[in-house]
Amino acid sequence: MSVSAVFDGPGAIRLAESDLAGPAAGEVVIEVAACGVCGTDRSIFRGEYAVDSPVVLGHEYAGTVIEVGEGVDTFAAGDRICVDPNITCGSCAYCRRGITHLCSALRPLGISRDGGFGRFSHVPARYAYRLPDHVPFEEGALVEPVACCLRGIQQAELSVGDSAVILGAGPIGSILLLLALGAGATRLAVIEPDPGRRARAADLGADVVCDPVDAVEAILDWSGGLGADVAIEASGRTVGAELALRLVRRGGRVVWFGVYPEREVLEISPYLVNENELTVRGSFNNPFTHQAALAVVGAGRLKLHELISDRIPLTDLAHALSPESRPSGKVIVDPSLPGTPVPNLGL
């Protein structure tokens, strides 16, 4: 028997039992050990990001292979793996150009097909990555967001000596901060409204941390009146996307990394972009960055355990996805935890 948290539409999650089907050809069945709650899951739960339902959400996960399907010779029962959820078609115009993350028939696990918020998950073997023994499952689950953040760093074209501003200091902003430092940013500022998160960003290596209200003045001051070389917007807030444009120098680069509400619009001056020759880019998913992300996580470069604030059972998922839940860091669902609410999680 398998138990999964099934998303039925905005605001609706239910626990459902089902018989566990065997793996299809080319698939492995894993017992999920850890699945991260992502901002995307929260957006879906709020109805800001449309998906077809019913579906089991959760696209940041790791676990143990319990059964392999026909034709799978790369994994065996007992192997520890983490998952790249972004399943591409391989034959659309984008896949054939090698920009597979923009696949027009993308079917991500945990978004378009059942993902990791359940005891078991069916994963195509070619999207499974072996997790080194010393990497705990909950850090393995975070290889996926790290892979997405690596794409953000690529899109920012960060190089040694750059100054960078990260907007947002949640788990994603924190990972971006550490990756930006690793990529050679010599000066780094973080914009974040929450004082606790600001303090953590300072601990992780930010030179300057400040509230969004003070950001323009503080960043100009910090950068000798110029602005930063790069700004990466990771709060997922539309106002942050606009603010980022005002924090970079002339010729600077802005990456809109967050998942923004699909229907919100922004008033910006094209003059600002043209006159200052700004580069503004999106960053989507994890094109060919999963292997590198696993290497970074395996090397212990990203204090991921410090970013995890809550470990919850499946029964607490609906609350963790709701707007009232304000965790200080990353929430990890462990489907093996008993299904009674754990009182000391502060949820």
Token duo for residue 169:
């200091």
CA distance 257 to 290: 17
Contact window for Zn ion (CB under 5 A) among 26-34, 68-76, 100-108, 236-244: 100-108
User: Which one, 5 or 38, has the nearer CB to Zn ion?
Assistant: 38
38: contact with Zn ion by CB under 5 A: yes
2-34: string of b/e by CB count within 10 Å (b at 16+)?
bbbbbbeeeeebebeeeebeebeeebbbbbbbb
User: Which one, 89 or 345, has the nearer CB to Zn ion?
Assistant: 89
Contact window for Zn ion (CB under 5 A) among 18-26, 84-92, 209-217, 318-326: 84-92
User: Which one, 40 or 315, has the nearer CB to Zn ion?
Assistant: 40
| Least distance in angstroms from the C-beta of 103 to Zn ion | 3
Contact window for Zn ion (CB under 5 A) among 35-43, 67-75, 121-129, 331-339: 35-43
Residues in the chain: 347
Which single residue is written with the structure tokens 């990791």?
116
Give the one residue of 62, 103, 210, 254 binding Zn ion; rule: CB under 5 A: 103
Residue 4 corresponds to which amino acid? S
User: Which one, 110 or 240, has the nearer CB to Zn ion?
Assistant: 110
Give the one residue of 20, 89, 273, 347 binding Zn ion; rule: CB under 5 A: 89
List, as own/partner pairs, every contact residues 333-337 make where C-beta atoms lie below 8 angstroms and the sequence separation is at least 24, other chains included: 333/5, 333/34, 333/35, 333/36, 333/37, 333/58, 333/116, 333/117, 334/33, 334/34, 334/138, 335/3, 335/32, 335/33, 335/35, 335/117, 335/118, 335/119, 336/33, 336/119, 337/311, 337/312, 337/313
| Least distance in angstroms from the C-beta of 208 to Zn ion | 27
Q: In sequence order, which residues have a C-beta less than 8 Å from that of residue 153 and are 6 or more positions away? A: 176, 179, 180, 183, 232
The answer to whether residues 35 and 335 touch, using CB atoms and an 8 Å cutoff, is yes
102: contact with Zn ion by CB under 5 A: no
Contact window for Zn ion (CB under 5 A) among 42-50, 99-107, 222-230, 261-269: 99-107
| Least distance in angstroms from the C-beta of 20 to Zn ion | 25
List, as own/partner pairs, every contact residues 273-277 make where C-beta atoms lie below 8 angstroms and the sequence separation is at least 24, other chains included: 273/245, 276/248, 276/249, 276/250, 276/251, 276/252, 277/250, 277/251
Token duo for residue 155:
């899109």
Give the one residue of 72, 87, 95, 218 binding Zn ion; rule: CB under 5 A: 95
Question: What radius of gyration do the chain's Cα atoms show?
Answer: 20
Q: In sequence order, which residues have a C-beta less than 8 Å from that of residue 108 and are 6 or more positions away? A: 59, 85, 86, 87, 115
User: Which one, 286 or 315, has the nearer CB to Zn ion?
Assistant: 286
User: Which one, 3 or 95, has the nearer CB to Zn ion?
Assistant: 95
CA distance 142 to 146: 6
| Least distance in angstroms from the C-beta of 344 to Zn ion | 27
Contact window for Zn ion (CB under 5 A) among 30-38, 64-72, 244-252, 279-287: 30-38
State the number of binding residues for Zn ion (CB under 5 A): 7
Q: Tell me if residue 305 falls in helix, strand or coil.
A: helix
User: Which one, 88 or 155, has the nearer CB to Zn ion?
Assistant: 88
User: Which one, 137 or 222, has the nearer CB to Zn ion?
Assistant: 137
User: Which one, 219 or 317, has the nearer CB to Zn ion?
Assistant: 317
Give the one residue of 2, 23, 32, 40 binding Zn ion; rule: CB under 5 A: 40
Contact window for Zn ion (CB under 5 A) among 95-103, 155-163, 246-254, 255-263: 95-103
| Least distance in angstroms from the C-beta of 141 to Zn ion | 10
| Least distance in angstroms from the C-beta of 55 to Zn ion | 15
Interface residues with Zn ion (CB under 5 A) are 38, 40, 88-89, 92, 95, 103
